[in-house]
Amino acid sequence: MTNRTGAVRLSGFLRCASVEDIQLVETHLPEHLRLTRAEPGCISFDVTQTDDPLIWRVEELFVDRAAFDFHQQRTRASEWFAATSAIPRDYEITAVA
């Protein structure tokens, strides 16, 4: 990531291993969505279940690297992360010109 002033996009997948993982996501996702969408610099934030109920598509867009970094810090201290940190993530982060 070399562009420090342009928008930052994260896209990828949250890969649940069990029904229990799905239940954790379903329980904690609504508040995570609400808090993230209220963050300064959040343009869009969507987490949606795919046709495979174990896999969730994640799409995030922030105005710049600072807003994205703020989101990452807030998330690491959240109930969402505490509950779901063991669920594997497969993300790609790119700068948007």
Helix (H) or strand (E) holding 76: helix 65-76
Structural domains of the chain ordered from first start? 7-96 (3.30.70.100)
- Calculate the alpha carbon distances from 27 to 2, 57, 70, 72 in Å: 36, 17, 23, 20
| pLDDT given at position 77 | 96
DSSP 49: E
* pLDDT higher than threshold 50 for residue 3: no
Span 2-18, average pLDDT: 88
- Strand partners for 57: 13, 48
User: Per-residue pLDDT tens for 20-79?
Assistant: 999 999 999 999 999 999 999 999 999 999 999 999 999 999 999 999 999 999 999 999
pTM listed for this prediction: 0.90
What's the pLDDT score for residue 4? 57
- Name the residue among 56, 54, 61, 75 with its Cα closest to residue 13: 56
